[in-house]
Amino acid sequence: MSEQEAVVKALRRGRILDAIRWAYQSAAAGVADDFRPGKGYDEGWCGFSRHTLLRDRLNRVFSLGPYITPVGTDPRENLDILFEAIPESERATFPLIAPGLVEEADLNGSPGWKYKRMRLLIASIPHDDIDDITWQRRSATKQLVASQPDPDRDGDGTNTLLHRLAAAGDTGAKALLDAIEAAKPLDIPTYLIGHGHDLIGGGRRRLVLGRPQLQAREPWAWTENLLTTHPPTAGGLTPPATTPDPTQAPDAPVRLRRPADTKDPRAADGTPSGGAVTSGGANRL
Question: 68 lies in a domain?
Answer: yes
Answer yes or no: is 20 within a domain: yes
Quick one: pLDDT at residue 236? 46
Ordered strands of the 190-198 beta sheet: 103-104, 112-115, 118-124, 190-198, 204-212, 220-225
Long-range contacts of the stretch 126-129 (C-beta < 8 A, 24+): 126/43, 126/47, 126/196, 127/43, 127/196, 127/198, 127/201, 128/196, 128/198, 128/204, 128/206, 129/196
DSSP 3-state assignment of 253?
Answer: coil
More confident residue, 226 or 38: 226
Confidence label for 110 from pLDDT (cuts 50, 70 and 90)? very high
| DSSP 8-state assignment for residue 271 | P
- Is 134's pLDDT higher than 50? yes
**Lowest-confidence region among 52-66, 164-178, 186-200, 237-251:** 237-251
- For residue 81, give the 3-state DSSP assignment: helix
Residue 251 lies in a domain: no
As a whole-number percent, the residues of the chain with pLDDT over 70 amount to 72
Total-model pTM: 0.73
**Integer Cα distance of 266 and 278 in angstroms:** 15
pLDDT at 285 over 50: no
Query: 196 in a domain, yes or no?
Result: yes
Asked, for residue 267, whether it belongs to a domain, the answer is: no
Buried b (16+ CB within 10 A) or exposed e, 57-84: bbbbbbbbeebebeeeeebeebbeebbe
Domain assignment present for residue 158? The answer is no
Assess contact for 263 and 269: CB atoms under 8 A: no
**Angle subtended at Cα 77 by Cα 73 and Cα 82, rounded to the nearest 5 degrees:** 105
Burial tier of 23 (Cβ tally within 10 Å: 0-12, 13-18, 19+): buried
At residue 237, φ and ψ (nearest 5 deg) are: -75, 145
Highest mean pLDDT among 34-48, 124-138, 147-161, 208-222: 208-222
Query: In terms of residue numbers, what domain contains 100?
Result: 3-148+186-225
**Whole-angstrom distance, CA of residue 263 vs CA of residue 66:** 64
Per the domain annotation, does 38 fall within a domain?
Answer: yes
4 pLDDT higher than 90: yes
| Domain assignment present for 121 | yes
Number of domains in the chain: 1
